Amino acid sequence: MSVVPVATAQRAAELRSELARAQHEYYVLDQPTLSDLDYDRLFRELQAIETEYPSLQTEDSPTHRVGAPVQSAFQSHRHLVRMLSLDNAFDQAELVAFEQSIERVVGDAIHKSGYTVELKIDGAAIALTYRDGVLVTAATRGDGTEGEDVTLNIRTIRDIPLRLRGEGHPPLMEVRGEVYLPFAGFERMNEARVAAGEPVYVNPRNAAAGSMRQLDPSITAQRPLRFFGYAAVLPDGSVPARTQWELLETLSAWGIPVAPHRQRCHTIEEAGAWAHTIEHETRAALGFAIDGGVVKVNAFSVQDELGIRNDRTPRWAVARKFAPDMAVTRLNKIDVNVGRTGVLTPFAVLEPVDVGGATVTYASLHNADQIAAKDLREGDYVQVVRAGDVIPYVLGPVPERRSGHEVPWQIPTACPKCGSPVTRYGDDVASYCTNVACPGRQLEGLVHFASKDAMDIDGLSYARIQQLLDAGLVHDCADLFDVTVAQLTSLERFAQKSAENLVAAIVAAKQQPLSRLLFGLGIRHVGAQAAQLLARHFGSLDAMMTATAQQLGDVRGIGDIIASSVAGYFDDPTARALLEKLRTHGVRFDEPNAVQADGPFTGATIALTGTLPTLSRGEAAALIEKAGGRITSSVSKKTTFVVAGEEAGSKLDKARELGVPVIDEAELLQRAAGGDGAT
């Protein structure tokens, strides 16, 4: 037995202590202070020491554990079979080494089996026990053997089935997966917490873990938690499938959500290529956080032969970890952008730092309330993340690194671009410049005006608009219609043909319907749907401009907030001058799909179900709404009639049960044309 150097023994003890502390913060407190990258680095260092000097291994070493002990606030629950963790691979070479370790045990069997690759969801692990297909218990991972019983909380997650679909469910089975928070839900949660004066969550994983462990299930029910399943195990340790791919398909058939982008791979090279694509292309477009992919031997017979290493990790699976999407750097300054609606959006000016393979200098800070809630100060060291967002954002400060020279920040009271007063509207968390003609609104406003869902001016890119502004050719959206081919060809990188095409696209945009113009104007709170509802209801811009806020708010789907914003816009002299300018340029001010005031379906509530012979669902809905009707997604006694096509669903059954009239497409077209018995 080799002699253990004193320094090495001391280092092993330090690592055990540091990793145990980090596990407690991560699993129990849900407040990690050690990054995933640093944790992995320390964990590997301890593994290497214990491999070289086995006598240094202790019973409480983090290398023998998966999680942390359960909290006393919940009842403990023993898992049917121990929940394991995964070893990590950080590049293709380590994936190849993983396969070589498998080949030493099972030989060519691995090549016949192949692999299943899946997203590694950055959430909180959960085990769902189903008895005869009915959910009876849900428990956290805990220490891998026992977890916390959080059944009442898990029952509030809508995409976890309380009863499995289909047939053939084992008498007793534990389904394992991750509870997570989509980015959009996470942002909404934090906005609500800011409004309530509560501290914001640092990241979606912490928020998901904290939500699962609420003592009051009604609080969990308010959180937009989601779930992905990835495994199932029977009491004897077997699996209700022959392969991992078959298991995922079976879980999906039973109603268990399974993560997208999974793939069968015949070789480890294919698995590596999949991981590269996910990390560098797919990851940024996902609506939820991942920290890597998981490569699993596909055949369970081969998995069984490979077994488990050190009672902690399976030999048949490895986590292909991705570059960290979070880093720490200094927040040099908080600056402000002015958006197309006049909203003042603070952003962080950072010391450049590499995050997820990209150099980050700027990051989103959302709004002043979140800056205050996170206690961000100029000069702070901050955590920056690039998970699922093109624009990075700041999670929060690192208070222990403060020197005392950091400076608190407040939203300016005057617009930094034009000096006009800054205001808040009602309970809105954002602050706005009150000047409709603010120069700070020009670029973003023009980009929005020309966008596909607005005036759809092909060729008028962000860079082109910046050129026009820099040259002084445009100051507002109406000026676009004055731009000539000669002016464009005088600018850099504008050939004659591209100039002619752009001018033609601008001229063609004059014929866009009112709904697109209204959306393109960038009125606060008016999205594409609201613009369409208003345009179809009033038919013309002039009719809308003369309407009161109450009349605007009476339009179905338009609430008081949108109505007040639209009325305020039309009352602004600068806005009215812009509209008159657009009128003189011949921009269309009417809506061809306007609702008929006394249409054949006026006052009718109509449901659509099934596939119609010639009309798409969207075309049928547009036909009904133009004729004055309202589309409903459910059937009740108040439903006027149901339009049913082939393979009609539950709406048809409900209509028959309630005695609601049912018609086909032919009768719908006849009634829309003014035939008898329209309503």
List the helix and strand counts (H, then E) for the chain: 25, 26
Tokens (6 digits) for 616: 């798409």
Gap between the Cα atoms of 579 and 562, Å rounded: 19
Enter the tokens of residue 160.
């976890």
Distance from C-alpha of 359 to C-alpha of 329, rounded to nearest angstrom: 12
Whole-number Å distance between alpha carbons of 201 and 193 = 9
The Cα diameter of the chain in Å comes to 99
- Exposure class string for 321-339: b at 16+ Cβ within 10 A, else e: bbbbbbbebbbeebebbbb
Amino acid residing at 179 = V
Tokens of 138: 């849900």
651 catalytic residue (yes or no): no
DSSP code per residue over 520-571: HTT-TT--HHHHHHHHHHH-BHHHHHTS-HHHHHTSTT--HHHHHHHHHHHH
β-pair partners for 540 = 590
How far, in Å, CA of 86 to CA of 248, rounded? 19
- Give the E-state strand segments of 380-523 in sequence order: 381-385, 393-397, 407-408, 422-423, 431-433
Which is the catalytic residue, given 120, 296, 321, 417?
120
Please tell me what DSSP assigns to residue 131: E
Q: Is residue 518 a contact partner of residue 480, using CB atoms and an 8 Å limit? A: no
In single-letter form, the type of residue at position 110 comes to I
Whether 599 contacts 629, CB under 8 Å: yes
Residue 203's identity, in one-letter code, is: N
User: Pairing state of beta strands 87-89 and 317-321?
Assistant: parallel
Close Cβ partners of 297 (under 8 Å, ≥ 6 residues apart): 102, 110, 113, 115, 244, 303, 306, 316, 317
Residue 189 tokens, joined: 């949660």
Which tokens go with 128?
A: 């769902």
**Active site residue ranges:** 120
